[in-house]
Amino acid sequence: MSNPLISILTPFKNTEQYLPECLESIQNQSYQNWELLIVDDHSNDKSYELVNTFAAHDKRIKLYKNKGNGIINALRLALSKSSGDYITRMDSDDIMHPEKLSMMLNDLQTHGKQHIALGLVKYFSDNGIGDGYAKYESWLNNLTQYGHNYTEIYKECVIPSPCWMLHRDDLLNCQDFIPERYPEDYDLTFRFYKNNIKCIPSNTVLHYWRDYSTRASRTDEHYAENHFLELKVDYFLELNYDAFRPLTIWGAGQKGKKVAQLLKTKHIPFIWICDNPKKIGKHIYDELLHNFQYLEDLKNPQSIVTVANAESQKEITSYFLEQEMVSMIDYFFFC
């Protein structure tokens, strides 16, 4: 195998407390032919000075200041300064497994272009990991073990932003960080899916994902759930919606209502179904709610499912299987 350069793109903002562990985990990689393009996004702590000290002793660390604002502009700058044949991201508050770069590179060199290397992730926190994050970690890792990440792409982001690597040409073909759209990691994942970038299965934890109360994904308005639904609906209409088939929304809770509003705004016709007897027969946004069995009266329908309860999802999946409907063709879980 050759010894190509790997470019690591890392924006940071006020992560002085965590940067030393992050940078040391990069320096301690078994694969050493890398460059770190690390961009300060207007920190007001001592993060910049800390990274500058590391950069003074390691010429592979290249430090820049973001002239724009936000993570997308920082990533654009980092990519523009990079030279590697392979590109990966890293979050400034996380930790790499020592074999992360080596294992991902080996996977890509084995499978070639049009593939993305992944790894399992593990959350850690000084205050312990909540049940929601534990479930997300388990769900995400189960998909990654089989390379089936796209099969549930409309639920949540199925490729963790700091744990992927792919060939530069493939990233550029997916428009890298050009779209000004948040959440940027989920949007990029949809573009990987759109461009048929195949996921390479992984059974190894390669990334340690730090959780804490001021993490951007917890506090930044760009990561609010309403943005997720807008993103999901837009990509569904572009990539999976068949305008010649009737479309249904299953579920009339908060998410179902938001999806209905988005579809109505875009003038997309739909039929609303649910299994809540208190709502069946009533109107929401001038749309009549039908019993879910109304689905059987429709010819070759597609369904967006907005029901979040795990047990209900299992029952709904069983119902679809009885109707010989296929996931990601006939039905799509949006939560």
pLDDT confidence tier of residue 218, bands split at 50, 70 and 90 = very low
Q: Where are the strands (E) in the chain, listed by range?
A: 6-12, 34-40, 61-65, 86-89, 95-96, 115-118, 120-124, 164-167, 198-200, 205-210, 247-250, 271-274, 283-284, 287-291, 302-305, 331-333
The structural architecture, per CATH, of the domain 228-333 is 3-Layer(aba) Sandwich (3.40)
| pLDDT for 29 beyond 80 | yes
- What number is the average pLDDT over the span 251-260? 97
* Arithmetic mean of pLDDT over the chain: 95
Q: What is the pTM of this model?
A: 0.94
Return the percentage of the chain with pLDDT > 70, whole number: 95
How far from each other are the two terminal CA atoms of the chain, in whole angstroms? Answer: 42
> What was the pLDDT predicted at 212?
76
Instruction: Report which of 281, 294, 282 is spatially closest to residue 249, judged by C-alpha positions.
Output: 294
Return the percentage of the chain with pLDDT > 90, whole number: 92
- What number is the average pLDDT over the span 114-123? 97
Phi/psi at 181 (5° precision): -140, 130
Phi/psi at 330 (5° precision): -105, -30
Domain ranges for the chain: 6-223, 228-333
Distance separating alpha carbons of residues 31 and 189, to the nearest angstrom? 26
| pLDDT for 158 beyond 90 | yes
| pLDDT for 241 beyond 60 | yes
Count other Cβ atoms within 10 Å, centred on residue 74.
27
Q: Would you state the structure tokens that stand for residue 183, as one six-digit string?
A: 């959440």
DSSP 181: -
- What number is the average pLDDT over the span 248-274? 97
Instruction: Report which of 309, 307, 330 is spatially closest to residue 320, judged by C-alpha positions.
Output: 330
Residue with the two structure tokens 């119902």 = 319
Select 6-223's CATH number: 3.10.580.10, 3.40.47.10, 3.90.550.10, 2.60.40.420.
3.90.550.10
pLDDT confidence tier of residue 184, bands split at 50, 70 and 90 = very high
Model pLDDT for residues 46-96, shown as the tens digit of each residue: 999 999 999 999 999 999 999 999 999 999 999 999 999 999 999 999 999
